[in-house]
Chain A
Amino acid sequence: MKNTLRQVFHSSKFVVGFVIFVAILLTMFIYPLVNPGNPLQMIGVGTFAKPGTYVSLYDATKTNTETFRLPDADEKRLVKLLTDADRVAMVEWFDAMGISVEGLDISDTDALLDMWKANYDPAAKPKGMTQAKRNFYKRLNNSIAEIGAAETLIITEKNEETGELEEQGKITKTDYVNTSAVANVKTLPLGTDNFGRDVLKELISAAGTSLLIGLLAGAVATLVGLTLGLLSGYVGGVVDDIIMFITNIFTVIPGFVLLILISYSIGQEQRGATVVALVIGLTSWTWTTRSVRSQVISLRNRDHVNLSKLSGHNLVRIIVTDILPYIASYVVMAFILQVSSGILAEAQLSLLGLGPRTTEVPTLGLMMNWAMLYSAHTNGSWWAYFPVILTITLISFSLNLMNTGLDQVFNPTLRD
């Protein structure tokens, strides 16, 4: 046993898979401790806030300021101010005025601005340009001009009695606040989803649920498969015929289809994560049954099993002491594969709208389903779906790597 374990951990594939898997597991356990709270809580009102650190504007204005004169502050403001669309619009102006833009790089803010200042004329009326468009350029020109000016923002408060605005403070361009002094700063490494929920928190919780679903589905499938395989292989005869008949039927009828039929018929109300896991498990045991059966058949007439039979040991004891230890490695490998296909099955079901009830826990499949329903993929909110895909892939990849590693240890012909 010890020796086998050592061999297993000598397999680089197993070790890599194991490390990834353990890292995912640790994240699942540690992150909620560091950042507790309900993963389904909607903290945002809008949908799909970008990943990043959010500073409360209100708190920031109430925080003591320091004055810094940073030489590149204006330039940075300009860069942020001029969106790509604005820059393209500026080039359109040059074109309309017949000014050559040869060699101009629109990402070079300085060059663009120099050219703009030299050539823009609010009074000019380029041919075919609408009034609205001309006004757009005027506004653009004004905001560019403001950046350089020593402008000050005034914070006012409405006096309840008089209804007049009273000045409370000023904000100048050289005022800075220390983020640690601001009362409310929220970092959202993966932004928020369509419901305004913290994607990272949701993802970690979802990965946990999905893994549990996978484990439960895998356990059910392995248990059913193992029992049927042992019975079929060891008892043989009519029992074998019947079990194999059923197994063969369920091997060709796609489990995914059965899963859809059953999940739909169970109904949204009854479809908790546990039920989904059970259904997945109950539709995916055929592989295990087949491989366990063939293993048991090759073991059935080995000397040590015959000896045990002659000694009058009962069926259960023979199976537990003389057969199970020999097929344990296969069963473990089958289980690992079932877990990963269980996770995938949940995700696919959820994408079809047949996943677990949506109100209690997030799962990877549900997150994916929400992201797709709210068109995260077409509106550029990559953080709502890409981490989900990556998580599913990584969990499944790590499990399969471990499986390949085990396979190489237990099937020597595959060794390198």
Chain B
Amino acid sequence: MKGYRKYFGKKIAWFLITLVAAVILNFVLPRLMPADPVSAITGKMAQGMTDASAVQEIYKRYEAEFGTNKPMVTQFLIFVKNLFKGDLGTSFSQYPRKVSDIISSAIGWTIALQLPAILVGWLLGNLLGALAAYIRKGFDKVLLPVSLFLSNVPAFGMAVTLLVLFAVNWKIAPIGGGYAFDMIPNFSWRFIKSVISHYQLPFWSIVLVSIGGQAVGMRSMSIYELNADYVKYARFLGIKDRKIVGYVFRNAMLPQVTGLALSIGTMIGGALVAEIIFSYPGLGSTMYSAVTAADYPLISATTLIITFMVLVVTFLLDIIYGFIDPRVKAAQFDA
């Protein structure tokens, strides 16, 4: 039990530290850059002559909310205080909507799309990788190059390909959006059906892209495990190959949980871009429209929220891993 407590304590501490670091980076990085958006905002205020008064109003409000004319440290404190209140400022492009309001309407879509897609991709990829490692020979010869190729198709490429094939050419799927454009979100059966049909292409494009990489990783891991000493020993005790394969896959699969935790940050980048292709109403599209409209408060908030989501998922995966892999407990006792 002591080992576990130490492990979880360490993980929680790390989660908090990285969270603080992420918030600081999110605040500091833009302000360190040459064309610093924050001072650009203050700058735009000064040249009020050319700006329409409504625009000036928007910037004034930003200045008041974030105290951009005050020293950096004060600004940071205001930023953190606002964060705790859940206040991420007011959007420039969708004025006077609050950023937190825009984000909360997008975040559900992103989570509902990406979490299942990445998990399904991970699961299918691991199964295929394990099969390739076990069967080797012909299956492996075909599967490995195909997986490698698939894993190198960029997420947006897969998204465009699926979109063109299924939505444009064969017209068996909608072209984009989270639901039919003529509907208002509600809990009717018709709406849910529309959501499901709009869900398919983005979902499968993310799944297909993540399968390849996972399969390749799992294959190497399984081959490594198949050569382990315990496999040989179990064989010499007369244990059936099928049972031994069970040992091997469990052992190879467990580190893949950590692998997922480590790669989720990279995967989410591709998946967000895939959202843009499908105009899926999630954070990816939000970020895209924010960038296009030079809506700094929205960009800053979106990046922060995405980082936060990745940190939480990584943390949860680490915790789950600690429970399911006894090697972790042992390592903590050793340390």
List residues of chain A with CB under 8 Å of any chain B CB: 248-249, 251-258, 260-262, 264-267, 269-270, 340-341, 344-345, 347-348, 351-354, 368, 372, 377-378, 380, 382, 385-386, 389, 392-393, 396-397, 400-401, 404, 407, 413-414, 416
Contact = CB atoms under 8 A, between A and B. Distances in A.
Dominant secondary structure of chain A at its interface with chain B: helix
B36 A265 contact: yes
B157 A393 contact: yes
A351 B29 CA distance: 22
A180 to B, nearest CB: 37
B69 interface: no
B93 to A, nearest CB: 13
Contacts of B127: none
Dominant secondary structure of chain B at its interface with chain A: helix
Contacts of B160: 372, 377, 385-386, 389
Contact of A249 (B17, B31, B272, B288): B17
Contacts of A248: 14, 18
Interface in B227-244: 227
B30 A257 contact: no
B254 interface: no
In this complex, which of B14, B152, B266, B277 has the most chain A Cβ atoms within 10 angstroms of its Cβ? B152
Interface in B154-183: 154-157, 160-161, 163-164, 168, 175
Given A253-B21, A267-B34, A348 B26 contact: no
Contacts of A262: 29-30, 33
A266 B276 contact: no
- Rank and list the top 10 A-B pairs by shortest CB-CB distance, nearest first: A267-B35, A256-B269, A254-B265, A265-B33, A389-B157, A265-B30, A396-B152, A397-B152, A353-B291, A257-B303
B168 A378 contact: yes
7 contacts: A252-B310, A253-B265, A253-B311, A261-B29, A270-B34, A389-B153, A392-B157
A352 B148 contact: no
Given A266-B34, A351-B273, A377-B160, A392 B168 contact: no
A372 B148 contact: no
Given A254-B307, A352-B288, A377-B163, A347 B152 contact: no
Nearest to B293: A353
Interface in B266-288: 266, 268-270, 272-273, 276-277, 287-288
Contacts of B269: 254-257, 345, 348
Contact of B18 (A249, A266, A377): A249
Interface of B: 14, 17-18, 21-22, 25-26, 29-37, 40, 136, 145, 148-149, 151-157, 160-161, 163-164, 168, 175, 216, 220, 223-224, 227, 262, 265-266, 268-270, 272-273, 276-277, 287-288, 291-292, 296, 299-300, 303, 306-307, 310-311, 314
A48 to B, nearest CB: 14
B227 A413 contact: yes
In this complex, which of A270, A344, A392 has the most chain B Cβ atoms within 10 angstroms of its Cβ? A344
A351 B30 contact: no
A382 B164 contact: yes
Contacts of B270: 344, 348
A352 B227 contact: no
A211 B29 CA distance: 27
B283 to A, nearest CB: 11
Contacts of B227: 413
Contacts of B18: 248-249, 252-253
A344 B154 contact: yes
Given A252-B314, A253-B22, A260-B299, A413 B163 contact: no
Contact of B25 (A253, A347, A397): A253
Contacts of B29: 258, 261-262, 265
A270 B82 CA distance: 31
Contacts of A392: 154, 157
A393 B14 CA distance: 36
B280 to A, nearest CB: 14
B310 A254 contact: yes
Nearest to B33: A265
In this complex, which of A255, A258, A265, A380 has the most chain B Cβ atoms within 10 angstroms of its Cβ? A265
B20 to A, nearest CB: 9
Contacts of B276: 351-352, 372
Contacts of B22: 253
Contacts of A348: 154-156, 269-270, 273
A210 B31 CA distance: 28
Contacts of A368: 156
B30 A264 contact: yes
Contact of B168 (A251, A372, A380, A404): A380
